[in-house]
Every structure is written in C-alpha cells, then in structure tokens.
Amino acid sequence: MTTAFEDFQFEELDPGYPGIADLSITQHYLAFSTSALETMGYPSHVKMMVDASKRIFAVQACTKNDKKAFSFSRPAEEQTRKKQCFQVKLQNTVQALVGEQWEKGFYYCVNGTYYADQRTMVFDLNEVIKRKVFSMKREKE
C-alpha cells in the first residue's frame, strides 16, 4: 500500500450497544460476560435465583445488606474481565438445571435477557449451547 495515511477519510465507528450478555457454565465455575455486567450497570451485589420448573436462572442487582446477596462486580472502570463465580452450591444447582452430561473439554453458554425494571438478567437454561473449549496447547504427535 503506497497511500499516505493523510489520504484516508476515516469515519469513527460508534461501538453502540454492548456485545452479547451471556453466561458460560463450565465444570468449575460460572462466568458472566463483561457485556452482561455492563448491561446490568456493574452491580456490586446480586441475588442469584432459579425457577427450577422452567429451568431459568436469574441474577438480580441488590444491596450488600440484602439477604443472600453475592458480591458481584467492581465499578465499571475497575471491572476489566468477565465475572467468574466459584461457589460450589451455585455451580451444582445451575449444572443440574442444564441437565446435560458434562464432558471434559466442553462448556455451555446461554444468552441473557435483561429486565431493566427489575434490574435482573434472566438466562433460559433450555437454550444452552454446548461448545468445545478452545486450547492453545499443541497436541502431542
């Protein structure tokens, strides 16, 4: 390319709405995407809820004084990665609702729906997608 940079007429792009708000369910933890955190407004504490009969998992923003509140996100400028939750009881509950046979090398992902008036992100576990874990390790020949 021999064109001088000054010859381009760039237009800045607006990033718009955050990416897809989703939940990843692995064998060892739950991971909320940074888009889920952004959509929810980076709540410092949440209540985690299930509707077992419908296989629904939900995360609702709350205060740290609410009963069963989980510490969740840092402020936006400090929360630079997805939020991982390692609570065994929570992990076991969500895995049981998914109802899939957990296979080594796979995880499950589901998009969330945000209900702003309730400050709640809802994940329909009937819609999980099974995905293969990406690994940078080379296989031995």
Does some domain include residue 106? yes
Does some domain include residue 141? no
- pLDDT of 90 reads 83
Q: Identify the domain containing residue 110 by its residue range.
A: 18-132
Does some domain include residue 95? yes
- pLDDT of 83 reads 74
- Beta strands 120-124 and 83-85, pairing class: unpaired
Does some domain include residue 140? no
Does some domain include residue 137? no
Does some domain include residue 22? yes
**Residue whose tokens read 């796979």:** 106
C-alpha 91: how far from chain center? 14
> How would you write the pLDDT of the chain (141 residues) with one tens digit per residue?
567 888 888 888 766 656 788 999 988 889 999 889 889 999 999 999 999 999 999 999 999 999 999 888 776 666 666 776 777 888 888 888 888 666 778 899 999 999 999 999 999 999 999 988 876 665 555
Domain count for the chain: 1
Of the candidates 140, 120, 139, the one whose C-alpha atom is nearest the C-alpha of residue 56 is 120
- pLDDT of 14 reads 67
Does some domain include residue 9? no
Does some domain include residue 48? yes
- pLDDT of 8 reads 83
